[in-house]
């Protein structure tokens, strides 16, 4: 009888915990819901107003949302208009890989030689040893110019001196080739995959496939950049999907194991800053996973285990797992006013300073 009572207690306790968990896992349907009393959830004044003033006065951000437990607790500017998201595209591509890595269509250990990859400037024998996983972790050891700019290639070692996999450098050649290989191995278009894997199941409000287009100087490299256009509120859905380990409502959209792989450290912040000294000036120490930046070396519990998709001019999706928060913000590409990298890092830190549940 005693054992039966214990078993019944365990069953009841499990049911309560599952019930609490399901209540906490809020997802938007066709529209985001807004928390009508964010202060009760720890989003406090005067920090709330101070952050709003900071965004207006000290940044060029044109749209920003903070999501807490699946609901909007802070909103600023135009969060509906689709615009260019710069290098956040790379983080989205990383998510698309998961389905095909899991089913064996993409083998991350496949080399450029096996894939018969070459470019306008021919690859060296040592460079052909690079694997797909080296490309998506920015560790290929191939320092060719990408078809578009906006990377740290100026810090590159001499070609042919680095063993693939042994050295980190953020170089668009890696990322553009990763997009080419993704399409080659899957026989599918990146934008079709975004629509089927993300836009439709996440019920994105603003996704428009007709806006998406590739670009680049193909005389420099034959691998174009797969540029993307999203709205701020749809970027927040991507962040929430990552926060929920690839799950949306009751469906696993991205394999949970792959989400963990994406945000597993491949490069420490110390190595990143050694190889690219300018990263020391950012105000947040960032390591690198599979095309996602990892926040490291912080004593702020709200920032622990956080990770981020980042793009030039002021495009950002940051996930804070310890406090169940997603930050998404962007600057319209036609605005023509930049947010410095340092400003972007400040926004990432200041956004969660509003949150104080004690």
Tell me which of 291 and 356 has the higher pLDDT: 291
Among 329, 326, 333, residue whose Cα is nearest residue 315: 329
Among 48, 12, 53, 58, residue whose Cα is nearest residue 337: 58
The answer to whether 283 touches 204, Cβ cutoff 8 Å, is no
Tokens of 71: 């609901």
Question: What torsion, rounded to 10 degrees, do the Cα atoms 117, 122, 125, 128 define?
Answer: -20
Using DSSP's 3-state secondary structure scheme, residue 211 falls into helix
Q: Tell me the pLDDT tens digit for each residue of 132-143.
A: 999 999 999 999
- Residues in contact with 318: Cβ distance below 8 Å, sequence separation at least 6, in sequence order: 239, 295, 306, 307, 308, 309, 326, 327, 328, 348, 351
Q: Tell me the pLDDT tens digit for each residue of 222-262.
A: 999 999 999 999 999 999 999 999 999 999 999 999 999 99
Distance, first Cα to last Cα, the chain: 43
Q: Tell me the pLDDT tens digit for each residue of 179-228.
A: 999 999 999 999 999 999 999 999 999 999 999 999 999 999 999 999 99
Among 134, 139, 130, residue whose Cα is nearest residue 275: 139
Distance CA 119, CA 240 (A): 37
Using DSSP's 3-state secondary structure scheme, residue 209 falls into helix
Distance CA 113, CA 105 (A): 18
Average pLDDT along the chain: 92
Distance CA 74, CA 65 (A): 6
The answer to whether 88 touches 213, Cβ cutoff 8 Å, is no
Phi-psi map region of 235: left, alpha, beta (phi>0 left; psi -120 to 50 alpha):
alpha
What pLDDT does residue 18 have? 38
């Amino acid at each position: 009888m005693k054992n039966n009572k214990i078993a019944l207690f365990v069953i009841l306790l499990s049911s309560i915990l599952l019930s609490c968990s399901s209540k906490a896992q809020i997802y938007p349907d066709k529209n985001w819901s807004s928390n009508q009393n964010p202060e009760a959830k720890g989003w406090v004044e005067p920090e709330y107003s101070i952050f709003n003033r900071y965004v207006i006065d000290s940044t060029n951000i044109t749209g920003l949302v903070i999501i807490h437990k699946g609901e909007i607790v802070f909103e600023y500017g135009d969060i509906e208009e689709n615009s260019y998201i710069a290098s956040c595209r790379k983080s989205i591509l990383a998510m698309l890989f998961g389905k095909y890595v899991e089913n064996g269509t993409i083998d991350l250990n496949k080399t450029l030689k096996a894939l018969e990859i070459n470019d306008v400037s021919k690859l060296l024998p040592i460079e052909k040893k690079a694997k797909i996983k080296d490309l998506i972790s920015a560790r290929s050891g191939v320092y060719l110019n990408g078809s578009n700019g906006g990377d740290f290639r100026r810090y590159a070692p001499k070609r042919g001196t680095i063993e693939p996999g042994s050295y980190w450098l953020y170089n668009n050649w890696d990322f553009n080739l990763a997009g080419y290989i993704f399409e080659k191995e899957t026989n599918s278009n990146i934008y079709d995959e975004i629509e089927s894997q993300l836009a439709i199941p996440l019920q994105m409000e603003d996704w428009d496939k007709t806006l998406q287009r590739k670009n680049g100087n193909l005389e420099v490299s034959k691998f174009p950049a797969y540029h993307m256009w999203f709205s701020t509120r749809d970027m927040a859905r991507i962040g929430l999907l990552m926060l929920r380990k690839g799950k949306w409502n009751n469906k696993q959209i991205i394999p949970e194991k792959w989400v963990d792989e994406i945000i597993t450290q491949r490069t420490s912040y110390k190595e990143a800053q050694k190889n690219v000294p300018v990263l020391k000036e950012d105000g947040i120490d960032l390591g690198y996973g599979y095309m996602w930046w990892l926040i490291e070396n912080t004593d702020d519990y709200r920032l622990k285990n956080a990770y981020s998709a980042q793009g030039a001019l002021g495009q950002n999706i940051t996930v804070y797992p310890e406090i169940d928060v997603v930050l998404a913000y962007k600057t319209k590409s036609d605005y023509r006013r930049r947010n410095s990298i340092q400003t972007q890092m400040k926004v990432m830190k200041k956004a969660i300073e509003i949150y104080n549940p004690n």
